[in-house]
Structure 1
Amino acid sequence: MSSNKMRCFRMLILSSALFSALAISAEEMVMIPQGSYTPFFLKKDLTDNVSSKVSIDAFLIDATPVTNRQFQTFVSTHPAWHPSNIKKIFSDSHYLEHWKDASSLIEAQHLDAPVVNVSWFAAEAYCEAQGKRLPSTDEWEYTLNDNNRDKENLQDRIIRWYSVPNKALLPVKSQPANGFGVFDLVGLIWEWTADFNSYMAPPDARDSGDKNLFCGSGSLNASNLGDYAAFMRYSYRESLKGNFTGQSLGFRCAKDAK
């Protein structure tokens, strides 16, 4: 991401925040305790040794993905992120295309379904407007890992979800929460993370325009070559650009623990 684009993005967030003196109320969040987990792609430390564990500080994460209802409230108070106003550098042409028009949804029952067709920039702006941020990939994966509770069944659920064509999204909390008390990490949508494309290829390679890099460049450092579900998550993230939107791609917010 160029420095000029990021600077413009930050200025837009600040101006959006000043536009409305009314703060959007904080949504339900879950405290995730400090811990560690083994990521799918292992990282090298400063001594060039491969580390199998990543330590995670305690943090808060939204109990559910952000819904159409919540994002509609954000758009109404931050008009720069309205479908008719959003700058092209911050989103592609499919931004919020599932909404009927500039202010309403196709059907009322979709209000409590996860918002999709939002870019990384829009997701980050929403979280900042709530005094939050997007979760890091490690935080998101650690929350999904759930201290290895029900690991085999979780992987089976993810693979079954991958095998089913996209369909109308259910409301959030249609499935049970995991052991941390977090809903809908799998089985509903894909989700943006703050550092979504920072794992499988170095920055210079990601900027080269080669769309096939994510398919194999990071596989040598994979912790479990049989974990197809994790490979799909990381490879999908690595293929994205910040202005991309998708009909199954949404987000949730996180926050540092105080």
Structure 2
Amino acid sequence: MKCPNSAAVKALGSSMDRLNEAQWYVELMQDNYHTANKFRWALTGFLRSIKEIPQIISMEVQQHAELKDWYKEVRKDIQNDPIVKYLSKQRDVVVHKKTLETASSATVGFVRGKQLKLGISVPINPRYDSVEGILMYIDAAARDTDFLGILYTEDDGSGERSAVIREWKLPGYEDVEVTTLCKHAWELMGKTNVALARMLGADFFEPQLKVKPVNEVSIQTYDPDWVKEQLQIAKSEIS
């Protein structure tokens, strides 16, 4: 007797593999959240992977009449989903026209744990790493003063650290952080994949994209010794 789970994996294996690939790209995005180019490259990979999944599923269900008609209607809903449609257009831009354009918001300040205590918004070019934000503030402080008192150059035991808080966005969806958009698209594809597997008799759990909360990856803290060293370098270059 065939195992229903094994049969479903065999039937839908290619789309499942592409879902895993897309998840890996999101993990790369979070691991490289403060390194601009690596983040953008991982996002580009995600956009390519996620767009291919509906077509892969369409080819897989051709061998299963009981799935084909159901998926034909569901695919229309997927393609009409506003976020999926938007991400699909971004993928087309990358493939056919130009490098993906990203945007970000950034704050330089100090944090205790994952809580911002005080900060100031700073403009960071989307092509630049997050560290450029605090270096800009350090340069300004070297020329005048640390007027916000956010540069921690000594470890006072409070657990507070100078930090850059950054969130990545895409033009047209500036109100939603990028990995949140990716999570929505991935889970929509994943639920469709699992629904098809269940129609083949499989006993699969509802999929959830395993991502860290945005506030865990959006904060990059800096060691007081490093801040002190950079401040000294900035002052020496001015004098």
Normalising by the residue count of structure 2, what TM-score does the alignment of the two structures yield? 0.27
Highest Rg: 1 or 2? 2
Task: Point out the structure with the larger helix share.
Answer: 2
